[in-house]
């Protein structure tokens, strides 16, 4: 009986050890710097005009690339240029992987942000930044899809407000991350680079 008990204990110990090795091998994955929202929102879907070439584009034109989506407007005095400058730094930090990424700047002020206004503004932040302009309905639909709040009040003074989140979609158009603060450009570049390389 003692031999059987000892064998059982040895067997249990070996099994427990194997389980520990297995669990160690499947340890926690590296945390994201931005907030992981995988599966919490619908896939990327839109139809708008691209400022750089005046073409009508949709999410299909960006398949195969990681896409960063940010809503703003060109007359924004502070948050928009600061955020786009941060995204520009993220793209620079990615090096060659920047070719796998596109940043989409969606204007919420289409009355003032014509394609001619939007084109040089977006291009000033880098070749991977595309300005997008749509009808009021198209912009509202896209903003609603990702729970982005904005408003444009034209009287008595022109006032625009908007959410400052940046959404990150993988190369299949699936939502992965949201960044409410883009000041940690090194961290965001790490996140985007991981997604660009299939993580």
Q: Which CATH number fits domain 35-196: 2.60.120.620, 3.40.30.10, 3.30.300.30, 3.10.20.590?
A: 3.40.30.10
Residues in contact with 148: Cβ distance below 8 Å, sequence separation at least 6, in sequence order: 71, 142, 162, 163, 165
Show me where the domains of the chain are located.
1-30, 35-196
pLDDT in tens, 72-128: 999 999 999 999 999 999 999 999 999 999 999 999 999 999 999 999 999 999 999
d(CA 157, CA 196): 42
Task: Give the confidence band of 28 by pLDDT, cuts at 50, 70, 90.
Answer: low
Q: What is the mean pLDDT of residues 24-52?
A: 87
pLDDT in tens, 113-164: 999 999 999 999 999 999 999 999 999 999 999 999 999 998 888 999 999 9
| 66: alpha, beta or left? (left if phi > 0; alpha if psi -120 to 50) | beta
Structure tokens, 44: 């990327």
Higher pLDDT, 188 or 12: 188
Percent of the chain predicted with pLDDT > 90: 81
Residues in contact with 63: Cβ distance below 8 Å, sequence separation at least 6, in sequence order: 171, 172, 173
pLDDT at 1 over 80: no
């Amino acid at each position: 009986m003692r031999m059987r008990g000892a064998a059982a204990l040895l067997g249990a110990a070996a099994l427990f050890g194997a389980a520990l090795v297995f669990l160690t091998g499947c340890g926690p994955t590296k945390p994201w710097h931005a907030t992981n929202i995988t599966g919490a929102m619908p896939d990327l879907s839109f139809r708008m005009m691209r400022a750089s070439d005046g073409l009508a584009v949709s999410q299909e034109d960006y398949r195969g690339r990681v896409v960063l989506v940010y809503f703003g407007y060109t007359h924004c005095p502070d948050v928009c240029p600061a955020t786009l400058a941060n995204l520009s730094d993220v793209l620079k930090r990615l090096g060659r992987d920047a070719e796998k990424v596109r940043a989409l700047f969606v204007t919420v002020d289409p009355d003032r942000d014509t394609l001619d206004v939007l084109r040089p503004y977006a291009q000033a932040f880098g070749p991977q930044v595309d300005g997008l302009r749509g009808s009021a309905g198209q912009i509202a639909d896209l903003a609603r899809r990702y729970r982005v709040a904005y408003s444009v009040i034209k009287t008595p003074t022109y006032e625009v407000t908007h959410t400052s989140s940046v959404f990150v979609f993988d190369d299949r158009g699936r939502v992965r991350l949201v960044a409410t603060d883009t000041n940690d450009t090194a961290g965001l570049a790490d996140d985007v680079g991981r997604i660009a390389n299939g993580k």
